[in-house]
Amino acid sequence: MNITAYDGCFWHGCPRHATWPKTRATFWKNKIATNKARDRRVNRELRKRGWKVVRIWEHELKRRDEPKLLRRLSRVLQA
């Protein structure tokens, strides 16, 4: 069984595209850190139950990145 999750670059702290708001900076850093921790917990739990988890960043959904994303998904599905 496979599951794919789409993660927004801002909400999940993308290492390439995350931005940090200047207002309420502490709140947002804590919020995004909490989101990332939840993502890790969910991934662990799903893998424990036999699922393959694929997280797709928002920036990977751009048309120009489609071939790369399709290759990655194909590798995961074949494994």
DSSP type of residue 10: T
pLDDT given for residue 3 in this prediction: 61
Q: Residues 2-27: what's their mean pLDDT?
A: 84
Q: Residues 28-50: what's their mean pLDDT?
A: 94
Domain ranges of the chain: 2-78
pLDDT given for residue 15 in this prediction: 87
In the chain, DSSP finds a helix count (H) and a strand count (E) of 2, 2
CATH 3.40.960.10 fits 2-78, yes or no: yes
Instruction: Give the tens place of pLDDT for each residue, 40-77.
Output: 999 999 999 999 888 898 888 889 989 999 999 999 88
Taking the C-alpha atoms of residue 79 and residue 54, their distance in angstroms, rounded to an integer, is 12
